[in-house]
Amino acid sequence: MPPNERKRLALILLLMQRKRVLLLDEPFCGLDAESVFVVQQLILQLGCEGRTLLVAADSLALLDGICDDLYVLGGGGVRGRYEHYEFARAVREAAASGIAEK
């Protein structure tokens, strides 16, 4: 089974557990553009169902429009906390502080 399909299957199995709180560590890593979109839509849907998702991602761009709160980490700590409407500011400040955007 190709890695992309394994990742999709792992996400589906995780989501089927119906847990109220989920931690997704790099859920977009290794996915093609279509799969990234599907995962983003799943995250939005789960949020609408009242579930809490903590998503760790290297790329801020992948989180645009799907987060209520955004925490930028770097140097062993929290570099900033942003509301969903402050996404552009989060990207600017992360870039200015030397946190590489992938």
- Which residue has tokens 């553009």? 33
pLDDT in tens, 31-47: 889 888 988 998 898 88
pLDDT in tens, 55-72: 998 888 899 889 999 998
**Residues 17 and 7 grouped into a single domain:** yes
- Distance of alpha carbon 66 from alpha carbon 80, whole angstroms: 18
pLDDT in tens, 72-101: 888 888 888 999 899 889 888 888 877 655
**Residues 72 and 84 grouped into a single domain:** yes
As to burial, measured by CB atoms within 10 angstroms (0-12 exposed, 13-18 middle, 19+ buried), residue 13 is: exposed
Q: Please state, for a pLDDT cut of 90, what percent of the chain lies above it.
A: 21
**Residues 53 and 29 grouped into a single domain:** yes
- The answer to whether 74 and 97 have CB atoms below 8 angstroms apart is yes
pLDDT band at 15; cut points 50, 70, 90: confident
Token pair in block for residue 9:
């299957």
**Overall pTM surpassing 0.85 (yes/no):** no
- Structural domain including 71 reads 59-102
